[in-house]
A = this chain, B = another copy of it.
Amino acid sequence: MTKALRIGIAGLGTVGAGVIQILRQNGELLSARAGKEVVITAVSARDRNRDRGVSLDDLRWYDDPTALVADPDVDAVVELIGGSDGIALELTRAALVAGKPVITANKALLAHHGAELARLAEANGVTIGYEAAVAGGIPIVKALREGLAGNRIISVYGILNGTCNYILTTMRETGRDFQDVLAEAQELGYAEADPTFDIDGIDSAHKLALLAALAFGCPPDFDAVNIEGIRHVSALDIAFATEMGLRIKLLGVARKTEFGLEQWVQPAMVKIGTPISQIEGVFNAVVADGDQVDTTLHSGRGAGAGPTASAVAADIADLAREALPPVFTLPVDQLTRIPPAHMGRHQGAYYIRLMVVDRPGVLADVSALMRDHNVSIESLIQRARNPGEAVPIVLTTHETTEADMIDVLARIRALDSVLEPPRMIRIGTL
């Protein structure tokens, strides 16, 4: 064995403690697999005295994470502070400038500053590992970057947020409403006190931007992701979906089309029985479609100390082997920006729910408008329950463009008998 790889960890929350734990428990094995001893030499966090379930006795302590970076006994920095800017960004820049590679679980940081940081890393002859930033313990960064290196990726999509998937799964299983299930998820620790980043799709979008960069050789473009969270997913739509053989999932989808790069994080319906539809509860999954390999699916736990630390450990091993490639696989100068594809250009099938007055002729009006816009109906559920009162009409369409769909829904909304803005949800993963 050659000289050890000495790690400094900045940020000692659940994941930071998990990384210390994994190196204590499996450090010898990890070192053997990496062909080089791996040791933690220094740590930094806000509160030295907090009980983290791991002893920090033999580790050098820094109150200031940038001082940790400067420690000559730190060869590489593990950044687990979080946040797209502030101290995490400062620290990462400082480490790279000092010629020290960075391993991070920080998807926000890389989604927003990925290209800049990749350039900085390259200029200083180091790189950034972020397996832990996307889909927790699933080695999907490695799969896209290396395992599928021979493929032109056609699309990459997945269930990228365990909190949302847990909420949607529980809503379906219990028939309860979003707010109710969210409150329970918060009590159980599956959702944060401030759940915005998760349930509004931001966290998934951060991850999607990174997956897209890896898959398509472009700089991450977070601002180009169309984002909608799960706040407006109703128990009613979940029940109708089940009836139609569909499941609602919060999907992140990136796809290269003739119109550019399509990126969206939105609730979508997938057919029951497809592998992605079976990913339930806190589990994540990523599907990569390559021109040679066809469809591959990778699933596992997307969060938690163990899975996330497992991903950090994989990057550490690669770093020790000097096998960690450039941040987005290609050198920064070879990354090509792909213009975003407008979602109006999207082609696919749709689920539509209308709340209408239960009286004769409504369906005829809706069908006529659909026909006039070349939107073809695939299936329809209409339940008369309260003559003269609000009832749902639910339908699915054959493939159409989203622009046409939005257009026809505006016309439908204008009908007297239609009481609420129509609900539109994409069907499928394209």
Contact = CB atoms under 8 A, between A and B. Distances in A.
A296 interface: yes
A382 interface: no
Copies of this chain held together in the complex? 2
Interface in A283-329: 290-301, 306-307, 309-314, 316-318, 321-323, 325-326, 329
Interface string A146-188: 1111111000000000000000000000000000000000000
Contact of A310 (B150, B298, B306, B316): B150
Q: Which of A291, A297, A330 has the most CB of B within 10 A?
A: A297
A38 to B, nearest CB: 10
A201 interface: no
Contacts of A149: 30, 33-34, 313-314, 317
Interface residues of A, number: 61
Nearest to A279: B275
A296 to B, nearest CB: 4
A80 to B, nearest CB: 15
A16 B75 CA distance: 43
Contact of A300 (B297, B314, B325): B297
B137 A294 contact: yes
Contact of A296 (B138, B317, B323, B334): B138
Counting chain B CB atoms within 10 Å of each CB, the highest count among A34, A294, A316 belongs to A294
A202 to B, nearest CB: 25
A314 B26 contact: no
A402 interface: no
Given A32-B217, A292-B310, A297-B297, 13 more contacts: A22-B150, A26-B150, A26-B151, A26-B291, A131-B147, A137-B292, A137-B294, A143-B143, A146-B314, A148-B314, A275-B275, A296-B298, A297-B299
